[in-house]
Amino acid sequence: MALTNAERQRRYRQRLKARASGAALVDQTRDAVNRAIDALWAFHQRPGPSGVRWADVDGCFTLELYRAELERSPGNLLQACRAFLPDFAGLSAAEAKAITQVIELSDALRLAPPRLIPLANAA
């Protein structure tokens, strides 16, 4: 059944209130992490400098295997994200932004001072 315009507007206002109150923060963080994993996976499927795909090097041929490898140790995701600093070589602008968000979230959780991460050089 299709939603009425009033119902759509009500749901939209509820989502805005949840975002403003911080109630949706955990879900937003999970979404950011998933976007970063998708960006890392996309890079993982491309050939490296030697012409061999990174998947052929580490043996992670599916997203599930790759994600399991990132989950194996708490620092793996952040280490994979930070590997692209300072210039995000080989990433699209959207991929670089997704990875930057995870780095910034990590810095905020560690109470590290904010730093400028340049996205202008992202390929």
Q: Model confidence over 76-97: pLDDT tens digits?
A: 999 999 999 988 988 999 999 9
List, for residues 42-56, the tens digit of each pLDDT value.
999 888 778 888 878
The structure's pTM equals: 0.75
120 has a pLDDT exceeding 50: no
User: Which pLDDT belongs to residue 119?
Assistant: 65
Terminal CA-to-CA distance of the chain, rounded, Å? 44
Q: What is the C-alpha separation between 94 and 122, in angstroms, rounded?
A: 9
